[in-house]
Structure 1
């Protein structure tokens, strides 16, 4: 078994360093794949759609997602901003729903670190 101390004690042996680097890289890769598969946590998906259409947020709310929306003004006119809170495993599903309703939507998603009460104080999806 190759440990960090073995590598540091034998810096003149390139096989130790190569083996350690490969092992470290595989560990990081596998760890990130497992974390991605588990999809723990929550995300916020924000979409800017090209029309003032408040049916889209209502559809997402009826599906059980936490939705906040508001009117906005952009370079090309009026827009609707839709902000959706969902469990991370449902991120792609929410993005697909938004894109099906508004194919030209500008969509951003990001991971939530902290939140308190509101809709998430109750059990959801």
Structure 2
């Protein structure tokens, strides 16, 4: 009985984790990889569902299925966060236009575009920094060490056209 419950939970964790990754890959435009993963996803799903349907006489099996589903969502999101697929566009606003932050970030390999903008209390330096998502935390930590009061916000771009980064990110 315990082995069956653990099997149901484990299968559902695997299924939902794969489902989460497949969904994220589709959103990020990785259709072929998502399609390949979906073959394994549906196989795991059908195997787990078959086990549960054969054992509907015990409500604990249904509860195990539900618990596995919930844990699978969590595990899938952790896996995606670990993989950090894609890129981020980080906007940084510094309250001084005289700053060497753009040069420091460029030396670290980040793509930086900067300009002067006018804020409520005067001129500001605005930077757009393109980075791999796997480097986002490092970038934000570096900025906060150099300019602790900087305003930082990140976006996930979907498409790239032009610029020096497109040469580095295209896999033809």
Other-structure match for 2:151 = 106
Q: Deviations over 1:83-105 (max 9, x none)?
A: 10001111011111211221100
Q: Which has the higher contact order (CA 8 A, sep 6+)?
A: 1
Paired residue secondary structure (2:160):
coil
Other-structure match for 1:83 = 128
Paired residue secondary structure (1:53):
coil
* Structure holding more strand per residue: 1
1:49–1:102 contact (8 Å) kept in structure 2 = yes
Point out the more displaced range, 114-123 or 63-72. Answer: 114-123
1:4–1:20 contact (8 Å) kept in structure 2 = no
Q: TM-score, normalised by structure 2?
A: 0.62
Paired residue for 1:56, among 101, 112, 115?
101
* Structure holding more helix per residue: 2
Unaligned runs of 5+ in 1: none
Aligned residue pair count = 122
2:52–2:62 contact (8 Å) kept in structure 1 = no
Other-structure match for 1:3 = 49
2:144–2:150 contact (8 Å) kept in structure 1 = yes
Separation of aligned partners in 2, 1:78 and 1:13: 68
Paired residue for 1:44, among 89, 93, 96?
89
1:47–1:105 contact (8 Å) kept in structure 2 = yes
Q: Deviations over 1:50-75 (max 9, x none)?
A: 10024211111122110011111111
Q: Using the TM superposition, give the Cα deviation of residue 21 of structure 1 relative to its aligned residue in structure 2, in angstroms.
A: 1.8
Q: Using the TM superposition, give the Cα deviation of residue 17 of structure 1 relative to its aligned residue in structure 2, in angstroms.
A: 3.9
Q: Using the TM superposition, give the Cα deviation of residue 15 of structure 1 relative to its aligned residue in structure 2, in angstroms.
A: 3.2
Other-structure match for 1:74 = 119
Paired residue for 2:67, among 4, 22, 42?
22
Unaligned runs of 5+ in 2: 1-7, 9-47
Paired residue secondary structure (1:36):
helix
Q: Using the TM superposition, give the Cα deviation of residue 29 of structure 1 relative to its aligned residue in structure 2, in angstroms.
A: 0.9
